[in-house]
Amino acid sequence: AQTVTQSQPEMSVQEAETVTLSCTYDTSESNYYLFWYKQPPSRQMILVIRQEAYKQQNATENRFSVNFQKAAKSFSLKISDSQLGDTAMYFCAFMKHSNNDMRFGAGTRLTVKP
Amino acid sequence: DAEITQSPRHKITETGRQVTLACHQTWNHNNMFWYRQDLGHGLRLIHYSYGVQDTNKGEVSDGYSVSRSNTEDLPLTLESAASSQTSVYFCASSEGSGRTFFGQGTRLTVV
């Protein structure tokens, strides 16, 4: 079974600074996807970034980037130039290529302070 | 625009009652999922379906059932609601490639 671990239940960062959220996972699969989702108070699940395991290049989306270390099974999210609107719960998730069900970590609550 | 909608957004029910949460998607996706979200656990998979008449149990399926009679809908039924089923429920759909879309969530309270 796949497990996803987020070891930081809560984090905070000053506006305009950079923060990194950690995620590790355990799997015997070689083909899979990894995701970071943002959940603001509205409860909506918003895809932040997606990484395919066969791609060595780290995914980036504007201020969001990942550090994907396949051998170490690590998938951290870096948020640059943090904004107040980044305040939310962030979930790391894993999905095998062979099916489409996701396994989520417990989440990290990020607060951006003015 | 295609979308995925859940109803109701909020529901309070009594212990022992049968409850059905609706999920409707217009993406024409074959894959649909139900998750529950609880503090400290993230989202956990309840049931999923890969197409009409196909249903499968997820990691926390006890006390829940689903049916898939068409592509668009995957209703989730709590046969006899229990206080342990108080949670936020999310429906999702996907069509391969890892791209998954979530509904807005339903907050269910069992009293």
| Residues in chain B with pLDDT values less than 50 | none
Q: What is the mean pLDDT of chain A?
A: 93
pLDDT recorded at residue B39: 83
- Does A98 score more than 80 pLDDT? no
Cα B9–Cα A108–Cα A53 angle in degrees, nearest 5: 100
Q: Which residues of B touch A45 (CB under 8 A)?
A: 90, 92, 102, 105
How deeply is B29 buried, as exposed, middle or buried, from its count of CB atoms within 10 A (0-12, 13-18, 19+)?
Answer: buried
Partners of residue A37 on adjacent β-strands: A47, A91
Cβ distance A50 to B45 less than 8 Å, yes or no, reads no
Contact A50 B98 (CB under 8 A): yes
CA distance B48 to B41: 19
Bridge partners (DSSP) of residue B11 are B108
pLDDT at B98: 74
Out of B40, B43, B105, the one facing A91 most closely (by C-beta) is B43
| Structure-block tokens of residue A85 | 């609107």
Cα dihedral A29, A33, A37, A43 in deg (nearest 10): -80
Q: How far is A16 from chain B (nearest CA, A)?
A: 28
pLDDT of residue A30: 86
- Taking the CB of residue A104, how many other CB atoms lie within 10 A of it? 21
Outline where DSSP puts E strands in B8-94.
Answer: 10-13, 19-25, 31-38, 42-51, 54-57, 64-66, 76-78, 87-94
A1 pLDDT band, cuts 50/70/90, is low
